[in-house]
Structure 1
């Protein structure tokens, strides 16, 4: 009989370590292996069991829930040595296990066996959609280099899609046999079961087993049934920066700044909807006909926007802005020709000396990437609060608080806006506040923070030029409902912002810093600005310093900061060629 050594730590300070025979039942009734008397614990709360040498924790539908390694779990989840489980008043740590047998038939029935197929496509779709942690990262060796393999074998895309859809339907029919078991599985277990069934289907049908690309076909079907379908391969490709699903059979990608069609597709519109659900469910967002639009993020931080019919007329669509695999830094941007080294050194001095900056630019111009890089130039030891709609900033600082806005629930309650978070951040003793993007009334609170002891704060906004950025700020402050005259708003902006950095996406796909402008107070009711650096197009394309030292740098120089005046007179020739990407 297998035994498990558990360390039990209670809220009252009591601590004990003891062996339990497997399976271990946990609850507040006396017949449980581990009895926990608390109103937060159900009569039959959870169970720890084994199957084929692996441990599993099974939450039995408890109201209070079971928390594994700081994440609440639902149904069945793998368990390992040193994992920590919180149930009610008890912290349970798995310490050791002796020899495991495979004789627990009840648990085999829970995690294993699928025998006779019954045809019920719709109910399987519901079962797959019900998985609680669909974004759990699972490596699939079959899917590695899938695209390259298919290209080498010269497989016709139309034939491949037809075979994929046929095998996908057979898998769904087979999975539907044990619908109750499926809904109790976490994503890794479901993928394991689906893979086993898929192999069985292919081996028993010569139509599939004799195909030269059977392995690649199985990987595609598995991705669509329990993963992200055709998106899986696109997300692995570091040369792709954006993925756009216009409808189930129409996918486009951006590579090196250029758009191109992708030959593969989803099997149906319902498949796209299911994948959207798998993306948004783990982060507490919802999407349905009553709320058909959603912003979300993938596990790697990539930004996702999804829209459902009837708003999306052609069918459910997804737009994914991918994050580079490696965290880029200023040297990477200089190497790609987004700016020159003199501009990079200038921005570094600005951040380290607590200048308030706004990054302005159009959609897809690289604002968030630059914001992330500049934020990582903030010296260690400062407390940073980041505020975003969908968390995508990845800062290297230890003293970091990340806040994310929340949409309203189905009853229209519970919304937490960016403005609410900016107001709250002021009470969190931040040294710097970094707002992912200002779109509305939060601009007033952000600028107020910049002007009241939180110098060195950063944010982005959509505008096509520095002057447009100032105009947009004026409009956004008016959106805050502040009954202020325009002259007062302009005074507020002029006294708060030090520099505006303009990002531009060129026609060849390259993203460059096209202008750095200093804000220099008011003159005749107009906000003064002067350009310090610019990117010039044409035959003399390149980055130019305009020979002007900012007034704020004059003050820094007086304070002893080392500043090379020659940097403001330099010219760097632009990098020619097509756009490159950060890998």
Structure 2
């Protein structure tokens, strides 16, 4: 089991201890026999007198997980939040000596006897997992709870309510959820988590505090190797010494990258999980987080509605895919959409959407360097273009497929993708170099470049769109891209500045037959609607419904805003 190191050992109360009640002359012998067979006689189980109690559900939950006190004077508690209320918690602490935040996972602490019973139950119940393959989560939980009761009755063991809840928590955690890393996979504040090797603390990327060390670690290589293999199996994939690297998608949509053994990573097996949100961030969330301003979001809305191709650039963990997924909510609902990814990250509410995924091959590679059955991004792009999509999304361009993407832009397709570059100049330079090698003439088919970065505002790490830059064309004299920075971020006061001119606004106005005043009026209407939806804290699905309704009848939607008494203030 993965260790979670706490500051203080909380003494167990006598009422919390494991209680064994003999229900027949051989009851304890049966338990001991099962225990010896499963655990090979590591230690004996104590018999504790059974004590009757009429605990309420609240009293039981209050006794399941004790919050350890912080004994070090240089450690201070910043905040503590329940993950599964009554069972697991996360406490953020600050080390005043190391000047670091710490992420503490708090779960039920088992007595020695409870731990013994847990191991017996897990070893005995593991074979029953196959019977639950096609069941829902609720059905699986009910099945396991019933199985725990039956097994305890069969071997003549009675647990008091608190002990039973502790043991049941770990059965459900390890059989139905994510085992040792379960809390980090449920905590909505965790974006990524990574294990760098045996006996190394796991690190999490927290939305408020950035990358911080946790109190979780795998103590032995056997534990870590077994956990990595188990993760691969959860993804329906295989990892072995022969093929020690894996990129996969966990059933909840999270992205897994793992290595096995010491041949690739010298500190032992490792894994990184990029969490997937079932309910993605919306444009309203981007505004709330101050990733970009209201005016910038209204600008992007008009760009996407009118099919302007956008490249979202930034460094690692800058939030490129999150921002792309949020603004793609503005695609008109009736349009044909095709997305292409290595691992599933994009999540759209549109019905007319075909999500395509690359596929790894099987066996050895042929003369072309591909394994049998392998389908790469280049092939998917070619197939996608034959489907005549109005909008194309590519998770990330890294190689020769970029040429096809820019060719599609040049032929009038609206394309959206992410790219690793921290400025427009760096983007152009990387695009022109191997292995991508897109000529500058094709790069000019792009309409707009969004540059996003992870920055420090005050004492906290956050994300900001540093610039929205239009690609106007190519200067024939020096072959340089002509660009126009429409919006830029000012780090001095954490604000966004508008340059005062947009070529895309001009193009849209000409296409729609609008005057400059009508164009500005349309921008203000959308800004007002976004602010109204933000004030109502509208959900992901409902944002999509409002956007769709606005496309059909903007006056009706704006009448709702006006009739609501909304003042237009934040």
Tell me how far apart the structure 2 counterparts of residues 121 and 403 of structure 1 sit (CA, whole Å).
47
Tell me how far apart the structure 1 counterparts of residues 35 and 130 of structure 2 sit (CA, whole Å).
17
Q: Deviations over 1:525-573 (max 9, x none)?
A: 22222211100112x33100122322x33222222254229989xxxxx
Shift of 1:187: 7.2
Shift of 1:500: 0.3
| Equivalent position of 2:421 in the other structure | 463
Contact 1:302 1:323 (C-alpha < 8 Å) held by counterparts: yes
Tell me how far apart the structure 2 counterparts of residues 270 and 190 of structure 1 sit (CA, whole Å).
28
| Equivalent position of 1:308 in the other structure | 260
| Equivalent position of 2:133 in the other structure | 186
Matched, 1:525 2:479: yes
Matched, 1:438 2:397: yes
- Secondary structure of 2:308 counterpart: coil
Tell me how far apart the structure 2 counterparts of residues 192 and 328 of structure 1 sit (CA, whole Å).
33
Tell me how far apart the structure 1 counterparts of residues 158 and 419 of structure 2 sit (CA, whole Å).
52
Contact 1:227 1:275 (C-alpha < 8 Å) held by counterparts: no
Contact 1:534 1:544 (C-alpha < 8 Å) held by counterparts: yes
| Equivalent position of 1:347 in the other structure | 300
Q: Deviations over 1:352-386 (max 9, x none)?
A: 11111100011111111111122221112211100
Shift of 1:246: 3.1
- Secondary structure of 1:315 counterpart: coil
C-alpha change, 1:317 and 1:545, in structure 2 (3 Å) is: same
Shift of 1:230: 2.6
Tell me how far apart the structure 1 counterparts of residues 327 and 105 of structure 2 sit (CA, whole Å).
46
Matched, 1:513 2:465: yes
**Match for residue 327 of structure 2 among 367, 374, 387:** 374
Tell me how far apart the structure 2 counterparts of residues 243 and 163 of structure 1 sit (CA, whole Å).
32
Q: RMSD over aligned Cα, in angstroms? A: 3.9
Tell me how far apart the structure 2 counterparts of residues 278 and 155 of structure 1 sit (CA, whole Å).
21
C-alpha change, 1:526 and 1:172, in structure 2 (3 Å) is: same
Query: Gapped runs of 5+ residues in structure 2?
Result: 1-32, 41-60, 66-81, 91-103, 365-370, 525-538, 541-570
- Secondary structure of 1:415 counterpart: coil
| Equivalent position of 2:502 in the other structure | 549
Q: Deviations over 1:418-441 (max 9, x none)?
A: 122112111111111100111111
Matched, 1:497 2:456: no
Tell me how far apart the structure 1 counterparts of residues 39 and 318 of structure 2 sit (CA, whole Å).
43
Q: Deviations over 1:411-469 (max 9, x none)?
A: 34222111221121111111111001111111111111111131x21000111112111
Contact 1:245 1:318 (C-alpha < 8 Å) held by counterparts: yes
Contact 1:224 1:230 (C-alpha < 8 Å) held by counterparts: yes
Aligned 1:207-356 pairs, distance under 5 A: 209=159, 214-225=164-175, 227-247=177-197, 250-255=201-206, 256-265=208-217, 269-281=221-233, 284-310=236-262, 311-356=264-309
| Equivalent position of 2:121 in the other structure | 171
Tell me how far apart the structure 1 counterparts of residues 442 and 106 of structure 2 sit (CA, whole Å).
62
Give the length in aligned residue pairs: 423
Tell me how far apart the structure 2 counterparts of residues 146 and 248 of structure 1 sit (CA, whole Å).
27
Query: Gapped runs of 5+ residues in structure 1?
Result: 1-114, 123-140, 569-581
C-alpha change, 1:333 and 1:325, in structure 2 (3 Å) is: same
Tell me how far apart the structure 2 counterparts of residues 155 and 201 of structure 1 sit (CA, whole Å).
30
Pick which of 164-173 and 218-227 moved more. 164-173
- Secondary structure of 1:457 counterpart: strand
- Secondary structure of 2:179 counterpart: coil
C-alpha change, 1:210 and 1:164, in structure 2 (3 Å) is: closer
Tell me how far apart the structure 2 counterparts of residues 343 and 322 of structure 1 sit (CA, whole Å).
27
Tell me how far apart the structure 2 counterparts of residues 257 and 565 of structure 1 sit (CA, whole Å).
40
| Equivalent position of 2:384 in the other structure | 425
TM-score (norm: length of structure 1): 0.63
Tell me how far apart the structure 1 counterparts of residues 326 and 292 of structure 2 sit (CA, whole Å).
13
C-alpha change, 1:325 and 1:398, in structure 2 (3 Å) is: closer
| Equivalent position of 1:15 in the other structure | none
Contact 2:87 2:169 (C-alpha < 8 Å) held by counterparts: no
Shift of 1:504: 0.8
Aligned 1:50-129 pairs, distance under 5 A: 119=37
Contact 1:307 1:316 (C-alpha < 8 Å) held by counterparts: yes
Contact 1:118 1:173 (C-alpha < 8 Å) held by counterparts: no
C-alpha change, 1:215 and 1:314, in structure 2 (3 Å) is: farther
- Secondary structure of 1:470 counterpart: helix
C-alpha change, 1:246 and 1:220, in structure 2 (3 Å) is: farther
Shift of 1:284: 4.8
Contact 2:198 2:224 (C-alpha < 8 Å) held by counterparts: yes
Aligned 1:565-576 pairs, distance under 5 A: none
- Secondary structure of 1:387 counterpart: strand
Tell me how far apart the structure 2 counterparts of residues 537 and 267 of structure 1 sit (CA, whole Å).
43
Shift of 1:334: 0.7
Contact 2:235 2:250 (C-alpha < 8 Å) held by counterparts: no
TM-score (norm: length of structure 2): 0.65
| Equivalent position of 1:448 in the other structure | 407
Contact 1:385 1:401 (C-alpha < 8 Å) held by counterparts: yes
Tell me how far apart the structure 2 counterparts of residues 445 and 391 of structure 1 sit (CA, whole Å).
21
- Which of 1 and 2 has higher RCO (CA within 8 Å, sep 6+)? 2
Contact 2:105 2:183 (C-alpha < 8 Å) held by counterparts: no
Contact 2:83 2:186 (C-alpha < 8 Å) held by counterparts: no
Contact 1:244 1:318 (C-alpha < 8 Å) held by counterparts: yes
Contact 1:357 1:498 (C-alpha < 8 Å) held by counterparts: yes
Shift of 1:519: 1.3
Contact 1:235 1:322 (C-alpha < 8 Å) held by counterparts: yes
Tell me how far apart the structure 2 counterparts of residues 271 and 187 of structure 1 sit (CA, whole Å).
28
Structure (1/2) with the larger helix percentage: 2
